[in-house]
């Protein structure tokens, strides 16, 4: 959706359900996660890329400034549709070259991790393909994914490297993210995930690779301003708790934020990781009961990724209810990646959250907007529709907000507004 509209003032009129997500404590916890700030028969006035006013249409149209300047304002007739803040996909891996079809078919046949790797699949096949690809080829793939996300309602994306695993290929991956983000109307937050797995050439020498990540890759990514965060995969088959802590310490030393893939396959002790003040801990399928109360007292957001459970054919999903009821702030994301979650669709993730994790549609939407903004520490600008915040809005062709999570594998997003401009389909 490359076309943009140049009108500086935009009025979204005739909104059936407007979900403002305003008010209340941020991030949303417990019962507050239900608070979506619903206004019926609403309108939103945008100007200079920001929200100027959002509220009942009758009140908004009485605004003296709007009455005298109505001709300067472009109008978008929402025809009774549902409008939400632009969805925020706070966990993706878009820098890859090819789908992982060997894994897909082998897994259908019942193969495990080792057998898939032996057949030429697995994460190492993605690494080989990224190493062979040019920065330009990768940035085209990233941009295509960002556009697919935008078409389905997403206006902010966190994007990780992690299939390069050499200095050169990780930097190339981060540059591909930056190049793509410059051609995309939404906002991209980039993350160095050099500690995704131990690359083959460091087999048996994981500590040497960790040292390279800490002493060379993290400082260079920081110096080149290519990453805002550093992520590490702390789990069986990836990095140990001790190695993960070293990488998080290096990130903080170089002024970068931290986030961790943890508790996807095996449990980990979260207290030492939380010392590094991660913005989010992601997956959290195997979080231990004693760590839940610890999380409930902090600001770190638990990012749940049910797309991976779905695609791997798992019967178990993260225990969202237990986390929410304990007061842990939760967010949702696609985990878009070639191995375990090849979907750009946040609405599909909302559907999975409702059907498989027993979140309500309201909770799922709050987790994909205001709480996802918190997971990226963007809550001052993103995630709710309030005067002064960025004018990022998604228009869904449904009459009731619950339908966004109800229809699945059906793209109901008909319009996107990013920074106060209509982008895409009807621009």
Q: Which residues bind Zn ion (CB under 5 A)?
A: 335
Min dist CB 191 to Zn ion, Å, is 10
Min dist CB 395 to Zn ion, Å, is 29
387 backbone dihedrals φ, ψ, rounded to 5°: -55, 130
Nearer to Zn ion, 96 or 396 (CB): 96
Instruction: Name the 3-class secondary structure at 232.
Output: strand
User: What strands lie across the sheet with 257-262, from one edge to the other?
Assistant: 87-92, 154-160, 187-195, 229-234, 257-262, 280-283, 301-304, 330-332
Min dist CB 123 to Zn ion, Å, is 11
Min dist CB 261 to Zn ion, Å, is 5
Nearer to Zn ion, 84 or 228 (CB): 228
Distance CA 227, CA 279 (A): 14
Min dist CB 342 to Zn ion, Å, is 12
Min dist CB 333 to Zn ion, Å, is 8
Residues 6+ apart with CB under 8 A from 174: 161, 190, 192, 221, 224, 226, 227
157 backbone dihedrals φ, ψ, rounded to 5°: -135, 130
Look up tokens 């706070």; give the residue.
Answer: 90
Residues 6+ apart with CB under 8 A from 340: 307, 308, 311, 312
Nearer to Zn ion, 335 or 390 (CB): 335
Nearer to Zn ion, 264 or 379 (CB): 264
Nearer to Zn ion, 157 or 395 (CB): 157
Structure tokens at 200: 């083959």
Q: Which residue is nearest to Zn ion (CB)?
A: 335
Element (H, E) at 242: helix 241-253
How does DSSP classify residue 109?
Answer: T
Distance CA 290, CA 281 (A): 16
Min dist CB 335 to Zn ion, Å, is 5
Nearer to Zn ion, 319 or 335 (CB): 335
Nearer to Zn ion, 285 or 335 (CB): 335
Distance CA 295, CA 192 (A): 24
């Amino acid at each position: 959706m490359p076309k943009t509209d140049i009108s500086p003032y935009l009025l979204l009129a005739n909104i059936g359900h407007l979900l403002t997500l305003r008010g209340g404590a941020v991030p949303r916890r417990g019962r507050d996660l239900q608070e979506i700030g619903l206004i019926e028969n609403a309108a939103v006035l945008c100007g200079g890329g920001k929200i100027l006013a959002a509220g009942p249409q009758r009140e908004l149209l009485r605004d003296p400034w709007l009455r005298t300047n109505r001709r300067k304002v472009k109008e978008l007739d929402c025809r009774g549709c549902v409008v939400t803040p632009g969805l925020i996909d706070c966990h993706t891996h878009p820098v890859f070259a090819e789908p992982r079809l060997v894994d897909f078919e082998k897994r259908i046949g019942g193969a495990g991790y080792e057998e898939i790797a032996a057949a030429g699949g697995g994460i190492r096949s993605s690494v080989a393909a990224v190493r062979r690809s040019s920065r330009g080829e990768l940035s085209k793939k990233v941009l295509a994914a960002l556009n697919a996300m935008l078409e389905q309602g997403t206006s902010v994306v966190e994007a990780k490297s992690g299939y390069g695993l050499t200095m050169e290929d990780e930097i190339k991956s981060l540059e591909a993210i930056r190049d793509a983000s410059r051609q995309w109307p939404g906002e991209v937050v980039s993350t160095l995930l050099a500690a995704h797995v131990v690359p083959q050439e460091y087999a048996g020498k994981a500590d040497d690779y960790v040292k390279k990540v800490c002493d060379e890759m993290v400082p260079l990514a920081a110096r080149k301003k290519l990453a805002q965060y550093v992520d590490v995969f702390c789990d069986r088959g990836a990095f140990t708790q001790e190695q993960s802590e070293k990488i998080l310490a290096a990130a903080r030393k170089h002024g970068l934020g931290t986030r961790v893939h943890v508790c996807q396959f095996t449990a980990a002790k979260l207290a030492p990781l939380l010392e590094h003040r991660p913005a989010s801990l992601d997956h959290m399928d195997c979080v231990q009961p004693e760590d839940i109360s610890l999380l409930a007292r902090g600001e770190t957001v638990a990012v749940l990724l049910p797309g991976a459970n779905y695609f791997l054919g798992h019967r178990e999903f993260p225990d969202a209810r237990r986390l929410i009821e304990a007061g842990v702030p939760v967010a949702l994301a696609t985990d878009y990646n070639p191995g375990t979650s090849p979907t750009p669709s946040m609405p599909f993730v909302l559907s999975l959250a409702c059907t498989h994790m027993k979140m309500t549609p309201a909770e799922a939407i709050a987790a994909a907007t205001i709480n996802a903004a918190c997971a990226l520490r963007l809550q001052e600008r993103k995630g709710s529709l309030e005067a002064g915040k960025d004018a990022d809005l998604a228009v869904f062709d449904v009459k009731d907000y619950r339908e966004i999570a109800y229809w699945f594998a059906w793209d109901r997003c008909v319009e996107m507004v990013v920074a106060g401009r209509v982008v895409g389909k009807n621009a």
